Amino acid sequence: MRVMGVDPGLTRCGLGAVEGRPGAPLTLVKVGVVRTPADEEIGARLVAIETGIERWLDEIEPDAVAVERVFAQHNLRTVMGTAQASAVAILCASRRGLPVALHTPSEVKAAITGSGTAGKQQVGAMVTRLLRLDAMPKPADAADALALAICHVWRGGAQNRLAEAAARARSGPGTTAAAYFRGRGRAAGHPRGTTQ
């Protein structure tokens, strides 16, 4: 299954997509960030994030989207911006009928490193190792988005099966051959690891 992870943020919204299944090696599809200027009006920033996410969804064609669950922080302004960017990601995926999963940072850390209290460096190092990359994805928001996607592939369980069923239903009886060859193209080697 192909999962797109979103590490929400107003200044940098991390995006990353992986393909695979539990117990098998994972493949990087794409990683990058959508950036918005801190001095721009909030509405314009949210529109820019939406545009970036929509572009990724068009290109990646994920089976599911995993978004970091917003949790309370000391800085209310930061958490509000994160929540707004998170809502945009959820809206974009839901508008297309894609399953959306929310994972807490500690769930993601535990899935990737075995410890729910791991630091960003540890998460980034494990993402690099799991995806067999030459270098750690930067900025950290991009690595976190990949970690979210990996976490969902490994822990999605019933959500994964529902997403696969939905993907089959979307392909419809008239496009089964097209879906088959699209899948074969992915298996043969989708363009890897481009960064925006």
CA separation for the pair 39, 50 (Å, rounded): 18
- Contact status, residue 103 vs residue 152, Cβ threshold 8 Å: yes
Catalytic residue among 59, 141, 144, 164: 141
**Is 61 annotated in the active site?**
no
Token pair, residue 116, equals 């729910």
185, two tokens = 């193209």
Question: Does the active-site annotation cover 68?
Answer: yes
59 catalytic residue (yes or no): no
Whole-angstrom Cα distance, residue 131 to residue 150? 9
Q: Give the active site residue among 58, 68, 144, 164.
A: 68
Please give the Cα distance from 100 to 149 (Å, whole number): 11
- Say which DSSP state 70 is in: P
| Residue 111 contacts residue 101 (beta carbons within 8 Å) | no
Of the candidates 7, 19, 63, 144, the residue annotated as catalytic is: 7
DSSP 194: B
> 152 CB contacts (<8 Å, ≥6 apart)?
3, 5, 64, 66, 101, 103, 159, 160
Catalytic amino acids?
Answer: 7, 68, 141
